[in-house]
Amino acid sequence: MTRIVRFADDAGTVRTGVADDTGGVRAFPGAPLIAELLRLSVAELRALAENTAAGPAAVHEPDVLPLPPLDGLMELWAAGVTYERSREARVEESTEQSVYERIYDAERPELFFKSPPWRVVTDGEPIAVRDDSELNVPEPELALVLNRHGETVGYLVADDVSSRSIEGENPLYLPQAKIYAGSAAVSSGIVPAWEIDAPDALDITMAVWRDGEAAYRASTSTAAFHRTPQGLVDHLWRSQPFPDGAVLSTGTGIVPALDFTLHAGDVVEISIEGVGTLRNPVRAQRSDLDWLVEAINHPLTRRAHRGGSPE
């Protein structure tokens, strides 16, 4: 299986390419941005990826720094209350329960902006919980990679890290509960859509590791999805253009009970069948993610902040 990746070499030069199962990476000619690739149609991108994959490997993944596969004018969006478990959890935590009951069966889905590319982290990099929130959870989700035409060209593993206490206090606080440094993580390789036969039946598992033991484990499947991915895309594209495409995280079917919260030092591990695994250590101070600003122009800054393996 191939993956479309974005990476930096030891000189800090950022490139994109196609990675294979052996770790070999073949760079796209002309060093295009991911955003530029998403200006192509699915057929055009597939032809480029397959032609590039047929060449010799230029580098190997252990020798380069993986970067989040978002850049340019791309945007990361997310959907909410798209699984029954998510509806139940939102009702349980909220002081305004009817809002979530109504949105679950409404024709219009809940969609919200999650992050610009520069604030997204990838595998091994830290995620964060807000220091003004008492109840914080990871939300494992399948993310759609969409070209500028609204076509699904690939898939990612995503973590929509959220403050349950802030959103639960008042649904209008959702932007504060969902949008902050360290709240958005995606896997480092885009699995092309043409390599996933049944995206509507993928197993999703999550474990939260704490002091070397699993503090939480759960699983679900995209088969439990209450809406259709294309329905979410149609609503997202309805009244706005995305010149460089977008990534749309499709909602979670795994929500811990109210007595669970993330702690600093935890490691969140999310796997989606056929798509990949995302591992991120948890931090609890805003300053722990300030390096994201420097990494905008100096991508090798990210190297010092990697470390996502459970101990």
Give the per-residue pLDDT at 307. Answer: 82
Give the per-residue pLDDT at 88. Answer: 66
Last residue of a domain, one of 21, 41, 66: 66
Q: Which residues of the chain have pLDDT under 50?
A: 311
Q: Do 80 and 46 share a structural domain?
A: no
Q: Do 24 and 161 share a structural domain?
A: no
Q: Do 300 and 177 share a structural domain?
A: yes
**Residue 311 falls inside a structural domain:** no
Query: How many domains, in total, are found in the chain?
Result: 2
CATH number at residue 171: 3.90.850.10
Give the per-residue pLDDT at 84. Answer: 77
Give the per-residue pLDDT at 143. Answer: 99
Rounded Cα–Cα distance for residues 68 and 120 (Å): 7
- Each as own residue / partner, the long-range contacts of residues 257-260 (CB below 8 Å, 24 or more positions apart, any chain) are 258/92, 258/93, 258/135, 258/164, 260/137, 260/215, 260/216
Residue 113: φ, ψ to 5°: -65, 135
**Residue 271 falls inside a structural domain:** yes
Rounded Cα–Cα distance for residues 87 and 227 (Å): 13
Q: Do 144 and 60 share a structural domain?
A: no
Give the per-residue pLDDT at 92. Answer: 62
b/e sequence 22-45, b meaning 16+ C-beta within 10 Å: eebbbbbeeebbbbbbbbbebeeb
Q: Do 38 and 8 share a structural domain?
A: yes
Q: Which positions ≥6 away from 204 have C-beta within 8 Å?
A: 140, 141, 142, 219, 220, 221, 222, 253, 254, 270, 271, 272, 273
Q: Do 106 and 192 share a structural domain?
A: yes
Give the per-residue pLDDT at 191. Answer: 99
Q: Do 102 and 52 share a structural domain?
A: no
Q: Do 75 and 123 share a structural domain?
A: yes
pLDDT tens per residue across span 241-296? 999 999 999 999 999 999 999 999 999 999 999 999 999 999 998 899 999 999 99
For the whole model, what pTM was predicted? 0.94
Q: Do 159 and 298 share a structural domain?
A: yes
**Residue 310 falls inside a structural domain:** no
pLDDT tens per residue across span 38-72? 999 999 999 999 999 999 999 999 999 999 999 99
Give the per-residue pLDDT at 310. Answer: 57
Q: How many CB atoms neighbour CB 54 within 10 A? A: 9
**Residue 150 falls inside a structural domain:** yes
Q: Residue 78: which domain range? A: 68-305
